[in-house]
Amino acid sequence: MELKTLFSDIADAIREKTGTTDKIVASDFPSKIRSITTGGGSGEIPNYKWVNLNMTSNTTPAPYVADSSTTYIDSDKNTYEAYKAFDGLLLGGRGTCFYSAENKRWLQIYFGKGVKCSIIRFYPAESYVPFFPKQIAIFGSNDGKNWIKIADSGSVATAPEKGEWREVYISIPFAYHYYKFEFSDAYNGTAQTILSEVEFYADGL
- Range in 32-36, 69-73, 118-122, 150-154 with the lowest mean pLDDT: 32-36
Q: Provide the 3-class DSSP secondary structure of residue 31.
A: helix
Instruction: Give percent above pLDDT 90 in the chain.
Output: 58
What are the angstrom distances between the C-alpha of 169 and each of 88, 121, 160, 177?
21, 9, 16, 18
Calculate mean pLDDT across residues 149-174. Answer: 93
pLDDT band for position 27 (cuts 50, 70, 90): low
pLDDT at 54 over 90: yes
pTM of the model: 0.78
pLDDT at 80 over 60: yes
Is the separation of the CB atoms in 120 and 51 below 8 Å? no
C-alpha R_g of the chain: 18
Q: What H or E segment, with its residue span, contains residue 18?
A: helix 3-18
Calculate mean pLDDT across residues 59-69. Answer: 97
Is the separation of the CB atoms in 162 and 130 below 8 Å? no
- Range in 62-76, 105-119, 131-145, 168-182 with the lowest mean pLDDT: 62-76
pLDDT band for position 142 (cuts 50, 70, 90): very high
- What does pLDDT average to over the chain? 86
